[in-house]
Amino acid sequence: MEWPHKDLLDVGQLSREEAEHVFRTGRYFQEINARPVKKVPTLKGRTVVLFFAEPSTRTKTSFDMAAKRLSADTFSLAKSGSSLTKGESLKDTAWTLQAMSLDALVIRHQASGAAQYLAERLECSVINAGDGWHAHPTQALLDAFTLYQEWGSVQGKTILILGDIAHSRVARSNVQLLTMLGAKVRLCGPRTLMPSAVGGWPVEVGYNLDEAVRGVDAVMCLRLQLERQTSCLFPDGREYARSYCLGMRHLERANAGAKILHPGPINRGLEISSDVADCPDSLILDQVASGVAVRMALLFLYVTRKEVE
C-alpha cells in the first residue's frame, strides 16, 4: 500500500484498510523485536524529534526505542528544556524545528489541536502522541493491535472502556477506532466522569459496573486523570474504587477468558485490582510490547512516504 497521509493527528484520518495495514506492518516489526539483534537500517540517516511538552514514560520511551531500532537519529525536546519556558510561541518553535530539516516530529502537548497546528506549518510528518483531551491515536492503534494479536480481529467483539471517560483522549480514540473495526463498545463510569457529548457516540453507556461488564470480551480500564480535573467530581478515591475498581468478581460476569487492558500508568486498588492486573488474561504488558512495534510501523510508513511520492 502506498501510504497517503503526511501526518497522524487522529485515528479518524484512517480507513479500516489503512489501520489493518498498520497492524500487518506492526507484526513484521514485532518479529524483528523478538530477534537477538533488534536493529534494522530502515530509517538510517533520518531524523526524528520527540517533542513532549507533557510528562510521559511509556509513549516517549517506546517512540524513542522504535526510532532507534529503525536506525533513525532521535532527539528529545521537553517543555522544561525548550524556549517555550522563555515565552517562545508554538509557531516560532515550529519554524525553528522546520529549519532543522526533520523527517518526523512526535509531539505530546497539553493543548488540544497542538499537533494539527504544527502539522499545518511543518513539511515533515507530525505524529500526535496525545494532545489535551482530544486524541491519542497511537495508543488506540496499539490497543487494537494487541487485541488483533489475540483474536485476529475485533469484529463482533464487545469491549468495555471503564473509568474516567470525560478526560481521556485514549477513550475517545479507542471508541473511534474500535467501532470502525467492527467492535461493539460500551462505556462505564461515574456520571460526573462521562462527557456530555457521549449521547452522540456509537456506544452503549452504563453507570453500574456489575451490569456493564456482563458478556464483554475485553475490559479496558482507564487512569483517573486527576491532573485534568478542575473540580471534585467524585467523593474520594475510596468511594470511586468501591464502585469502579475492576475486580475478579466482575470478571465472573464477563465472557470466559475476557481480556484486560490498561494504557498505564496503573493505580492498583483504585482503577484495577492487583489480581486482575496480574491475571493470565491481562494484556497490559502485551500493550507495552505492542507499542514499540506499532510505533516502528508508523514511523516507517510516515517517514518513507516521501520516497514513494
The answer to whether residue 5 is domain-embedded is: no
Q: What is the CATH classification number for the domain harbouring 295?
A: 3.40.50.1370
91 is in an annotated binding site: no
98 is in an annotated binding site: no
Q: Are residues 155 and 76 in the same domain?
A: no
DSSP H helices in 1-99: 16-33, 58-69, 90-98
139 is in an annotated binding site: yes
The answer to whether residue 261 is domain-embedded is: yes
pLDDT at 52 over 80: yes
Tally the domains of the chain.
2
Q: Are residues 267 and 302 in the same domain?
A: no
CB of 106 closer than 8 Å to CB of 125: no
Q: Enter the C-alpha cell of residue 300.
A: 516507517
Put the strands of the sheet holding 204-206 in their side by side order: 204-206, 184-188, 158-162, 218-221, 259-261
The answer to whether residue 30 is domain-embedded is: yes
108 is in an annotated binding site: yes
Give the tens place of pLDDT for each residue, 165-183.
999 999 999 999 999 999 9
223 is in an annotated binding site: yes
Q: Are residues 163 and 132 in the same domain?
A: no
> Residue 269 is part of which domain span?
137-287
Residue 3 banded pLDDT, cuts 50, 70, 90: very high
pLDDT at 237 over 80: no
How far is residue 130's CA from residue 109's CA, in Å, rounded to a whole number? 7
The answer to whether residue 106 is domain-embedded is: yes
Give the tens place of pLDDT for each residue, 199-233.
899 999 999 999 999 999 999 999 987 654 455 55
The answer to whether residue 274 is domain-embedded is: yes
4 is in an annotated binding site: no
Q: For the chain, what percent of residues have pLDDT higher than 70?
A: 92
Please name the residues in contact with 36: beta carbons below 8 A apart, sequence gap of 6 or more. Answer: none
* HSE (side-chain half, CA atoms, 13 Å) at 30: 18
Q: Are residues 168 and 205 in the same domain?
A: yes
265 is in an annotated binding site: yes
Q: Are residues 127 and 156 in the same domain?
A: no
Give the tens place of pLDDT for each residue, 77-116.
876 555 555 667 888 887 888 888 899 999 999 999 999 9
